[in-house]
Structure 1
Amino acid sequence: MAGQSPIRRNLDDTAELPAFLDSARSEEGPLDESRRAEVKPLKRKFPLTTGFTALLRHRYALSVLVRRDLAVKYQATVMGYVWSLIEPLGLTLIYWFVFDLVFGGGNDLPGTSGYLLFIVSGIFAYQWFSSAVNEGAKSLGGQASLITVMKVPREVFPVSKVLARFAEYAVGFPILIIVATLDGGVFRLNLLWLLPAILVQAMLTTGIVFVLAAANVLFKDVQRFLPLVMRVLFYGSAVIYPVSKVAEADTMKDNPWLFDIFSTNPLVGVFSMHRAAFNPELAPNLYQVGVAVGFSIFLLFFGRWIFYRLEPRVLKAL
């Protein structure tokens, strides 16, 4: 049809999405030479972020972005989505060999499960968080040409990264079940811990990504400082060691307030909930759960507010 820009079918970083995203379309139809001079150029107006209800109204665009992200990431690869499991499985084997086989770290774990299940459940949850934060921080700057033509609120871009990385976590969930079956996992009501674990981690990650996605466009220091922060969070969130080891340390016994500070990290409670789904003895205490839930809800709305406040400056910078 004349007057319409063609829809490109290849999945690259600037690929156009379905027809409702094509802002180059004119509703006036073809113009003759006498009318062309009287018509002013069309001004593109895009909706600002209006709230979380905007995600529901544009859920189709969000799902398209998620599918596109996964397709682009694994296109032209032989193993496809298997690559999303290579890194967490590789890290799992390394830490299991070093901390369990060499140093015997799994001997003092509470409950009946072994260290292999402990490290798998922690690594998979951390990998979802780490990948979503790292890619979400670049979600606006890395797709500037696409953002300028999409008639949807910009918050769908960082949220799509969180959901895409969750899809990779979900792909690896059968591996968690297999390891739990072989390594002493418990399959009772403790499995219900997975629901709050996933929900709280999704809220926490989305709030962080809202802040980083907007800040990274305006301040390039964010991208350089982020790897150090993620490394600190990895070692400070009880990913490769049990929380009980921290509580039993002499320094913590002499200074209980230090353990309270350690437990104030919301990721400690989140990862403990992931592990409690297979080993109830690893469940977080009430304080850790409260901190994880409270901080995640606060950061979700605070991050959304920061994203809204910085959005005009971000659009100018893009």
Structure 2
Amino acid sequence: MTVIGRTLGKATGVRALWRNRSTLTTLVQRDLAVKYQRSVLGYFWSLIEPMGMAAIYYFVFGILYGHSGKNVDGGDYAVFVVSGIFAWQWASSAMSESTRALTSQSSLITTMRVPREIFPVAKVVARFAEFAAGIPIIILFAIFLGSGFKSSIWALPLAILLQTCLLVGLAFILGSVNVLMRDVERFMRLAMRVLFYAAPIIYPLTKVLGDDANPSNVPGWLQGVYMANPYVGIIQLHHAAWNPNELPSWGLLGYTAGVCVVVLFLGWALFKKLENSVLKEL
């Protein structure tokens, strides 16, 4: 009965979010408007920042270290790094901002009669809107620098789905726990730096796992720790959409999907458990 009750509770939570989708849309629009208000370039900043980062990493690793051209698992390094940076920008911004989603909107949370989950979810959706605006940029890179669309383009919607599940689950956890322990917000600044290099965003996964031609220097135990990061599989899917050679193994894909679903449900359960305590703090 307990399992059935929890399942029905989760389903009810999803229905509540769906019933309040107009409020969610309003919060996302408000978030984007506030973020880019009094900005001359406005929404273009959502493209300029990741493009600037991609240009820097392409210069360092693509030109200075000779990885430019079609030598990253058979694909162009420019397409590789751009697809990785845009995916990471969504993840990094969503995790950082969802950590403050409740503390920065306390007046709205305590006055609006809507599911409180809607506030961290709105942060994830708003940052996804910025990522979606960058997809045409990646396509242009794939057309002019790569070899156009691949049969593995299906990996992109799957990557988006899994990343959304993971980010929403993390948003529930980070947003609620940060209200009770403000150290979480400070910890995330360090965590973002570590996570950036702990996933194959600007380097191919073969650099960590090695292959027949180039064995890895990374110890086996450290490879295991590295592969436990669900973002490894998600970033691989983002790369694979433009280069089939980057497709993750079925084992890695299954593990990644499992972790994303577990984090989503655990995050929701923790959020509901801490909701009353969070409201008292706010």
Q: Which TM-score applies when normalising by structure 1?
A: 0.81
**Which residue is 2:3 aligned to?**
none
Distance 2:200 2:145 in 1: 20
Unaligned runs of 5+ in 1: 1-48
> Among 142, 154, 159, which residue is 1:197 paired with?
159
Corresponding position of 1:271: 235
Helix, strand or coil for the counterpart of 2:40?
coil
- Give deviations 1:63-96, integer Å, cap 9, x for gaps: 1111111111112222110011121011101000
| 2:197 equivalent in structure 1 | 235
* 1:104 counterpart residue number: 66
Question: Quick one: distance in 1 between partners of 2:150 and 2:193?
Answer: 34
**TM alignment of 1:1-318, pairs within 5 A:** 51-106=13-68, 108-111=71-74, 113-248=75-210, 249-252=215-218, 255-318=219-282
* Superposition deviation, residue 206 in structure 1: 0.6
Counterpart residue type for residue 134 of structure 2: G
Deviates more, 1:72-81 or 1:173-182: 72-81
SS in 2 for 1:60: helix
1: CA distance between counterparts of 2:64 and 2:217? 25
Contact 2:149 2:242 in 1 (8 A): yes
Distance 1:82 1:295 in 2: 33
Q: After the TM superposition, which of the residue ranges 259-268 and 210-219 deviates more from structure 2? A: 259-268
What code does the residue aligned with 1:246 have?
Answer: V
Counterpart amino acid of residue 202 in structure 1: T
- Superposed displacement of residue 188, structure 1: 3.1
Deviates further, 214-223 or 260-269:
260-269
Q: For 1:288 and 1:82, locate their aligned partners in 2 and report how far apart those are by CA, in whole Å.
A: 35
- Cα distance in 2 for partners of 1:148, 1:131 equals 25
- Show structure 2 runs of 5+ residues with no match: 1-10
Q: How many angstroms apart in 2 are the aligned matches of 1:164 and 1:257?
A: 37
- Contact in 1 for aligned 2:165/2:261 (Cα 8 Å): yes
Quote how far apart the aligned CAs of 1:250 are.
3.5
Paired amino acid for 2:203:
Y
Instruction: Look at both structures and tell me which one has the larger radius of gyration over its CA atoms.
Output: 1
Correspondence for 2:8: none
TM-score, scaled to structure 2: 0.91
Deviation at 1:291, TM superposition (A): 1.7
Distance 1:89 1:62 in 2: 28
Q: How far is the alpha carbon of 1:257 from its aligned partner?
A: 4.6
Aligned equivalents of 1:152, 1:50: Cα separation in 2: 13
> Structure 1 185/202 Cα, relative in aligned 2: closer, same or farther at 3 Å?
farther
Task: Tell me the equivalent position of 1:3.
Answer: none
Give 1 or 2: higher helix fraction: 2
Deviations 1:237-263, CA, capped at 9 Å, x for gaps:
1111100111124434xx545433322
Contact 1:124 1:169 in 2 (8 A): yes
Aligned residues: 267
Equivalents in 1 of 2:135, 2:146: separation in Å?
Answer: 17
